Structure 1
Amino acid sequence: MSLLRTFPTRGALLRPRRTIADVAVFLGAAVLLWLVVRLAHGAVVPWNAETAPSTVSTDPAELPYYAGRSLLRMFAALALSVVFTFVYATAAARLRRAEKVLLPVLDILQSVPILGFLSVTITGFIAMFPSSELGLECASIFAIFTSQAWNMTFAFYHSLVSQPRDLDEASRLLRLSRWQRFWRVDVPSGMIPLVWNGMMSFGGGWFFLTASEALSVNNHSYALPGIGAYVAAASDAGDLGKVLLAIAVMVVLVVGVNVLFWRPLTAWSERFRIEYSEAAQAPRSLTLDLLRRSRIPALLGRVFGPLVYPIDRAMATFGLAEHPLRVSPVRRRAGDVAFAATVLVLIVYGLVRMITFIAGSAGFAEVAHALLLGMITFARVLVLVAVATLVWVPIGVWIGLNSKVSRLAQPVVQVLASFPANFLFPIITAVLVATGIPLDWGGILLMSLGAQWYILFNVIAGASAVPNDLREAATNLRLPRKLWWRKLILPAIFPSYVTGGITAAGGAWNASIVAEIVSYNGLTLTATGLGAYIKEATSAGDAGRILIGVAVMSLYVVGLNRLFWRRLYALAERRFSLS
């Protein structure tokens, strides 16, 4: 026995595997750092708005570089979206006065189409960096950000307002500051929906990649090196072979991102699941296993870990306490009145300026025309959401509740949702032309390719978050299938479905911009609708019609959210939260 103790057989067996993991992680990090520096250098090359190219080369040899530039923009926009989500959603959930303003503003921001942002911001970004491509790069990243941030913000906000009551009580009893509560309670409890919706938002960014890299605003066309601009150039040239080549590269890119980033993040987020019994099979990731086996993350933690505690203490000391000082009802009421009056003055001022501008440019007759076009697009959105609900809710529940199915289906779903569906627009457009199907009907299919996944992803996230002890209780009680759906599954996934529904509807409105007017090989198909109206106005640089189109689309989206989706949100918070 003494001889056996002198030989660390277990350590000897594990050490070679850990060494291989260390080498793999180190080389991967080094290659990633080199790629980021190499690709970021291309964003600061000299550039002039007058001589800037309006298209990119369609040489297949450029595709790897284009793919890298596009991927860098996507992750830069994702980082901005996470920061925005943490700040905006937390303020809306924790500040009572701010919530009354921030949520309607978020509804409006979600409803504004990506071209509406571009028409306003691109000139400002170019003016900030007049002699560098960085201005156009910032405009592109901001456009991708506007296609990612709103869904993540809605999801994180809902996780905060539907937080289990025992977590809220525990944070108050422990007297955590707002800073401490955010990192120790709020972020962990909202991590699973945040990761899933971040994945979905990333797919939404892919969808609008072409619109954010091949820019056409105010009678000017600009193109950034990227796979989206490559597809736009190949589609305009009618070169279907190069479009298919770009699709193949895009499939490799999406699969790689899911394997190396989203799949590990999904498996890691399972540690924050709130339940009393453990699932039979937890999601796994080879990349995450490699990181856990390596000693490099632990080494970095020992180096930078001591910096976390002083920062945490400083923020907890100087940050606002969780229990603010008591304010008398009279002072609180006076503050509410002053806040409401300030907001009302700003709204009235903005409406007066908008009415004055419309009266002096396009005229109010154009408003009635845009409202009629909005009704047509609204009908397409309703059909899309209804069909997507009937199709994807059962499938999402099936995937989310079955660990074996989830392990096989989740990567497929992630790839399908992350794939930029508008890359398929040239092929579908060619089919529509060959079959004679009008875009007025085909536009619903094109819109659904980008919007339906919001419902599927949120339902999967909601179903997978159902506590395992509730599932076991339902099994032990032998609930009939109809009762199982009505008493357990539908109430459990209802909050997640509402988040998916509201973002799917908003995504469908945004997708109408690129789905109601498509081009292939010099042939342009146009559907009757508000999306085509906004795209034509943006391309022509007609500021009056752009403002009318964006305002009308915002009116439809905000009205639908206020009259329908917000009531469902309140119902979900009141009756179906796990507290």
Structure 2
Amino acid sequence: MAVFTSHIPTRRFGLIDILVIAFVFALLFSVLHLGAGMIIPFSPENQIEISTDPADLPYYAGRSLLRMFIAYGASLLFTLIYGSIAAKSRTAEKVLIPLLDILQSVPVLGFLSVTITMFMGLFPNSLLGVELAAIFAIFTGQCWNMTFSFYHSLTTLPQDLNEAAAVLRLNWWQRFIRLEVPFAMIGLVWNSMMSFGGGWFFLAASEAITVLNESIRLPGVGSFMAAAVEEGNMPAVGYAILTMIVMIVLVDQLFWRPIVVWSQKFKMERTEAIEVPTSFVYAILQRAVFVTWMQKYFFRPVAKAVYGAFNLGARVTGHTAAQLESITPLSYLTAAIKWVLFSVILYYVSQQAYQGCRMIASVGLDTLVEIITFGFYTLGRVMAASLIGVLWTVPVGVLIGTSPRLSKFFQPIVQVAASFPANMIYPFVAVFYLKHSVNFELGSIPLMMLGTQWYILFNVIAGAMAIPNDLKEAATVFKLSGWQKWRKLILPAIFPYLITGCITASGGAWNASIVSELVTWKEDQLNATGLGNFISQVTAAGDWPGIIGGIAVMCAFVVIINRLFWRRLYQLAETKYHLN
């Protein structure tokens, strides 16, 4: 009996527990209420009218948040599966990583053009089809950055940890849950925050869909903003911006900040840090008796059951694989099945590629040359935006990441700045540019930076936070300071994270070009010559050959640049600049 009671918390049930329980029930009720609005009847002829009344903003904000978190859950699952396969199989890596380059370069409007009809066909006469298309669009704005981060973390696992896992004979599930995920946790958390912010960036495009000459609006802050811009209703635009800031701050304090504090337990170091991040929400959860009881009597048993099931499955699959390797005919059969599956996939991809090539051929050589020329215009803006982003994010990111005190103060500010959809302030920028006759060919570069520089900043912060405390103490012992400290410790430590940030920022910049090269305010349009502008116009017109041609050219630019430049830098980071 004494053994049992020793685990019962000494704290008593009190006001904190009542507040936690009330919050949990309010959250569950809100999810059910908001989710019910996703499955109402719908048809393109009888669409939902979007109000610009500020009283409707709380409900719209809830619908937007629900889409964001559903998309984030799907992104996290995709990241863990896709990143693991790409990092552990050299054969799969040769296919999956170039494919990831292509996918992150496909604009959100490109995904919407293809998926909106498919999802509406799966759920006819229901709003759920349009909701799933919007969630999928947000998913495409979140998952690529997270996947690159997780993949890069797995490929830079220290050799001594790999050897320890081999000595302990960990199966694939034990290795995944006890080594790989913990090692990648800090980078994954910060890139999750950045990716969540990336989802906000395309919220308006996913909730206010104008594709194939058809306009579909979903209740949400993004569609509210789009309706306000169309009306030229500046007070409504201000209310939408204020609502967005409130949402971002609440999500940061109630969700991301506690996770950042929790993730510090996975930091690799042999000495304890002097300062650690704090969170009042995390402190409340630790003090609440209700949370302790739920953890003991619900979460731990469920986690134990899930862990046991996956562990058993890993043992069975490992044993079966070992047996198959020892039986030559069966190993041949396994190889044959793999080749059949690969051939089927290759045939399907070839068919789709053939149809795409036919559409591109119908564009005409002159138009194709013009699209490629547009690509070089956008390439110049992407390079300028990335370079300017690196110049300021590296020193600022290192300063924030190496100081828990500064991190506590600046994280909410950075989170708001990074998560706030930059295209929501585009109307104000458009008014300023129109009033002062700013050359939009150059003026579009700052707009592109607003949506991409944060990828670099968050990766640099994650890299600086992951520097082991014992290495910092060693640098102090050897009296490293100034440029010498940067050259010997900081830059080598953050280099893999910096390259990851640059790769995702570059891909994000190409994607952001569709909203930064064409900005509308009332009847006025600001146009910058470029591929993003071209894709926006052909998508709105429903010009399928133009859509396919623009997306294909953008994918080609991204893949070639990644192969020739960014991948070589990452190979350097993987072989020379990682903890070992």
TM-score normalized by structure 2?
0.93
| Counterpart contact for 2:510–2:532, Cα < 8 Å | yes
- Match in the other structure for 1:363: 364
Q: Secondary structure at the match of 2:47?
A: coil
- Match in the other structure for 2:507: 506
- Match in the other structure for 2:246: 252
Pair 1:263 & 2:263 matched: no
Q: Secondary structure at the match of 1:43?
A: coil
| Counterpart contact for 2:359–2:549, Cα < 8 Å | no
1:116-127 mapped onto 2 (5 Å cutoff)? 116-127=110-121
Which residue identity does 1:186 align to in structure 2? E
Pair 1:459 & 2:460 matched: yes
Q: Secondary structure at the match of 2:520?
A: strand
Select which of 354, 357, 367 maps to 1:352. 354
Q: Secondary structure at the match of 1:49?
A: coil
- The CA deviation at 1:356 is 2.0
- Match in the other structure for 2:290: 296
Deviations 1:194-246 (A, max 9, x none): 11000000000001100000000110000000000111111111111110111
Distance 1:265 1:283 in 2: 10
Which residue identity does 1:140 align to in structure 2? A
Distance 1:92 1:312 in 2: 23
Q: Secondary structure at the match of 1:222?
A: strand
Distance 2:222 2:569 in 1: 37
Which residue identity does 1:261 align to in structure 2? F
Deviations 1:310-329 (A, max 9, x none): 4433322332439964969x
- Match in the other structure for 1:221: 215
Select which of 273, 282, 287 maps to 2:276. 282
- Match in the other structure for 1:8: none
- The CA deviation at 1:335 is 6.1
- The CA deviation at 1:509 is 0.6
Change (3 A) 1:347 1:133: closer
Pair 1:321 & 2:321 matched: no
- Identity of matched residues, %: 48
Which residue identity does 2:30 align to in structure 1? L
Which residue identity does 1:259 align to in structure 2? Q
What stretches of structure 2 of length at least 5 have no aligned partner? 1-7
- Match in the other structure for 1:7: none
Pair 1:308 & 2:310 matched: no
Distance 1:57 1:364 in 2: 45
| Counterpart contact for 1:429–1:519, Cα < 8 Å | yes
- Match in the other structure for 1:417: 418
- The CA deviation at 1:362 is 2.1
Q: Secondary structure at the match of 1:478?
A: coil
- The CA deviation at 1:280 is 1.0
Change (3 A) 1:47 1:346: closer
Q: Secondary structure at the match of 1:524?
A: strand
1:171-186 mapped onto 2 (5 Å cutoff)? 171-186=165-180
- Match in the other structure for 1:103: 97
- Match in the other structure for 1:20: 15
Change (3 A) 1:91 1:454: same
Deviations 1:257-314 (A, max 9, x none): 1010010111110011110011111101010111111122322233333343344333
Distance 1:348 1:242 in 2: 48
* Greater mean alpha carbon deviation, residues 172-181 or residues 391-400: 172-181
| Counterpart contact for 2:51–2:224, Cα < 8 Å | yes
Q: Secondary structure at the match of 2:38?
A: helix
| Counterpart contact for 2:359–2:548, Cα < 8 Å | no
Q: Secondary structure at the match of 1:315?
A: helix
- The CA deviation at 1:354 is 2.3
- The CA deviation at 1:348 is 5.2
Which residue identity does 1:130 align to in structure 2? P
| Counterpart contact for 1:237–1:522, Cα < 8 Å | no
Change (3 A) 1:69 1:351: closer
Change (3 A) 1:311 1:67: closer
- The CA deviation at 1:51 is 2.2
- Match in the other structure for 2:570: 569
- Match in the other structure for 2:3: none
| Counterpart contact for 2:11–2:289, Cα < 8 Å | no
| Counterpart contact for 1:175–1:322, Cα < 8 Å | no
What stretches of structure 1 of length at least 5 have no aligned partner? 1-10
Distance 2:347 2:11 in 1: 68
| Counterpart contact for 1:176–1:321, Cα < 8 Å | no
Distance 2:307 2:404 in 1: 37
- The CA deviation at 1:49 is 1.6
| Counterpart contact for 1:459–1:500, Cα < 8 Å | yes
Distance 1:471 1:103 in 2: 34
Distance 2:239 2:303 in 1: 47
Q: Secondary structure at the match of 2:526?
A: strand
RMSD across aligned positions (CA): 2.3
Q: Secondary structure at the match of 2:37?
A: helix
Change (3 A) 1:463 1:340: farther
- Match in the other structure for 1:382: 383
Distance 1:266 1:322 in 2: 38
Change (3 A) 1:512 1:403: same
Distance 1:187 1:563 in 2: 30
Which residue identity does 1:353 align to in structure 2? Q
Pair 1:232 & 2:226 matched: yes
- The CA deviation at 1:123 is 0.3
Distance 1:323 1:478 in 2: 55
Which residue identity does 1:28 align to in structure 2? F
- The CA deviation at 1:175 is 1.6
| Counterpart contact for 1:396–1:457, Cα < 8 Å | yes
Distance 2:438 2:303 in 1: 60
* Greater mean alpha carbon deviation, residues 303-312 or residues 362-371: 303-312
Deviations 1:373-402 (A, max 9, x none): 000000000000001111111111111112
- Match in the other structure for 1:85: 79
Deviations 1:480-500 (A, max 9, x none): 422211111110000000110
Which residue identity does 2:259 align to in structure 1? L
Q: Secondary structure at the match of 2:126?
A: coil
| Counterpart contact for 1:148–1:201, Cα < 8 Å | yes
Which residue identity does 1:33 align to in structure 2? L
Change (3 A) 1:469 1:324: farther
- The CA deviation at 1:344 is 6.8
Pair 1:210 & 2:204 matched: yes
Select which of 47, 58, 67 maps to 2:61. 67
| Counterpart contact for 2:527–2:533, Cα < 8 Å | yes
Q: Secondary structure at the match of 1:321?
A: helix
Distance 1:282 1:211 in 2: 39
Distance 2:297 2:410 in 1: 39
Distance 1:358 1:527 in 2: 23
- The CA deviation at 1:410 is 1.5
- The CA deviation at 1:576 is 0.9
* Greater mean alpha carbon deviation, residues 173-182 or residues 449-458: 173-182
* Greater mean alpha carbon deviation, residues 546-555 or residues 405-414: 405-414
| Counterpart contact for 2:398–2:460, Cα < 8 Å | yes
Distance 2:253 2:173 in 1: 33
- The CA deviation at 1:365 is 2.4
| Counterpart contact for 1:178–1:322, Cα < 8 Å | no
- The CA deviation at 1:131 is 1.1
Pair 1:31 & 2:26 matched: yes
Pair 1:528 & 2:529 matched: yes
